[in-house]
Amino acid sequence: MKRRTLLASAATALGLTLSGTAWAEGMDKVKACFVYVGPIGDGGWTYQHDQGRLAVIEKFGDKVDASTYQESVPEGADAERVLTQMALGGCNIIFTTSFGYMDATNAVAKKFPNVKFEHATGFKREAPNVSTYNARFYEGRAVEGLIAGRMTKSNKIGYIGSFPIPEVVMGINAYYLNAKKVNPDVELTVVWAYTWFDPAKEADAAKAMIEQGVDVIASHTDSTAPLAEAAKSNGAVIGFGQASDMAEYKPSPRVTSIIDNWGPYYIDRVGALLDGTYEQADVWAGIKGGEVLIGEITEAVPAEVKAEAEKLRDDIASGAYHPFTGPINKQDGSPWLAEGQTAPDGDLLGMNFYVEGISGDIPQ
């Protein structure tokens, strides 16, 4: 304990001198570190963050050391330990890439005021050195919802939820609303897997829904397992690439995908640290900002549906359409958005209710 305190204070002292001079004017070399919730080989969420890390290396070359990352870090006490170790190990900026690292990130950030922390998908910025960044995945969910509503034959569409957090609830609502818009008969089945990454369980969740007659499955978990399960149906069930393109399941069951594109943001932040323009931030970009890409819509989707989906994508990008546009009621029938009103960001970030028409409860 004593040695750790000593190390911490040494690191703080070192950081202080750096911040006094270097940060104002930029740095010669930045060490950027990454904490991942799954393995890089998940082919989804973590893989995309690692692509962002590689983009940083490609962009800055010798001026950045982004070789430090830790895979499969549990969300909990372990995260704090990993973060402390990274901060002590000389990282200048640490990207924590899962919602569950929120409290750990803020706790460690207070101990290391001279290390910059970037927390993905969170909302707490309790110290001046914590920034948050997120992507408007719900915009992609809207496009998926439209395709789901048009493509379903059983009028039953499914969504594999990971954990009942606003990020996921938001996705469910966007998916449902935009499916309902084109197909009023559509019914949504939600299954909570309580994991971000467990291929066998994700496949079981998909299987359970398929047995209930669901024929379009969107997933909010990280692996390609739901698509592998859908592939067993020989084209009767379709799904979407999640986080990564998952192109290996083209043209069906993967008919399109939401691709997380973190590279530009990571380059921007590391670049700001290098040239001294770094400031605390709360970034939430979507299709427009290029953080959310819609993967190629395959030939398994009829041309007119494809055109409709692409138009929706472009309308969202241009701002002509917001996936949450009133009138929308909450599940219990109470009004949320009035006619023509669009959802304020605050409502979305704290979203803990289903919209009207979805059955079932959000586990609390």
Which one of residues 82, 109, 186, 214 is an interface residue with another protein (CB under 8 A)?
A: 214
Position 228 contacts another protein (CB under 8 A): yes
Quote the CA–CA distance of 255 and 236 in Å, as a whole number. 12
Quote the CA–CA distance of 136 and 121 in Å, as a whole number. 10
Which one of residues 8, 107, 247, 283 is an interface residue with another protein (CB under 8 A)?
A: 247
Enumerate the H helices of 128-165 as residue ranges. 137-151
Which one of residues 15, 199, 239, 253 is an interface residue with another protein (CB under 8 A)?
A: 199
Q: Is 317 helix (H, G, I), strand (E, B) or coil?
A: helix
Position 235 contacts another protein (CB under 8 A): no
Position 195 contacts another protein (CB under 8 A): yes
Say if residue 164 is preceded by a cis peptide, omega within 30 of 0. no
Which of 191/287 has CB closer to another protein? 191
Quote the CA–CA distance of 34 and 68 in Å, as a whole number. 7
Position 231 contacts another protein (CB under 8 A): yes
Count residues contacting another protein (CB under 8 A)?
A: 45
Buried b / exposed e over 21-48, threshold 16 CB at 10 Å, is ebbeeebeebbbbbbbbbebebbbbbbb
H or E element, residue 242: strand 238-243
Can you read off the two tokens belonging to residue 158? 């499914």
Position 239 contacts another protein (CB under 8 A): no
Position 221 contacts another protein (CB under 8 A): no
CB 167 within 8 A of CB 121: yes
Position 325 contacts another protein (CB under 8 A): no
Which of 43/271 has CB closer to another protein? 43
Position 275 contacts another protein (CB under 8 A): no
> Which of the ranges 116-124, 218-226, 290-298, 310-318 carries the binding residues for another protein, by CB under 8 A?
218-226
CB 87 within 8 A of CB 113: no
Give the end-to-end CA distance of the chain in Å, rounded to a whole number. Answer: 37
Position 225 contacts another protein (CB under 8 A): yes
Which of 115/209 has CB closer to another protein? 209
Position 200 contacts another protein (CB under 8 A): yes
Position 233 contacts another protein (CB under 8 A): no
Task: Quote the least distance from Cβ 127 to another protein, whole Å.
Answer: 32
Tell me which residue of 219, 168, 222 sits closest to 350, measured CA to CA: 168
Burial of 10 (0-12, 13-18, 19+ CB in 10 A): exposed
Position 198 contacts another protein (CB under 8 A): yes
Tell me which residue of 169, 171, 231, 213 sits closest to 362, measured CA to CA: 169
Quote the CA–CA distance of 37 and 102 in Å, as a whole number. 12
Binding mask 294-313 for another protein (x = CB under 8 A): --------------------
Which of 48/223 has CB closer to another protein? 223
Position 224 contacts another protein (CB under 8 A): yes
H or E element, residue 116: strand 116-120
State whether the Cα torsion 193-196-198-199 is positive or negative. positive
Task: Quote the least distance from Cβ 249 to another protein, whole Å.
Answer: 8
Position 72 contacts another protein (CB under 8 A): yes
Binding mask 22-41 for another protein (x = CB under 8 A): ----------------xxxx
Position 223 contacts another protein (CB under 8 A): yes
Position 261 contacts another protein (CB under 8 A): no
Position 192 contacts another protein (CB under 8 A): yes
Position 276 contacts another protein (CB under 8 A): no
The amino acid sitting at 351 is M
Give the footprint of another protein on this chain (CB under 8 A). 38-43, 72, 158, 189-195, 197-205, 207-209, 211-212, 214, 223-225, 228-229, 231-232, 246-249, 359-361, 363
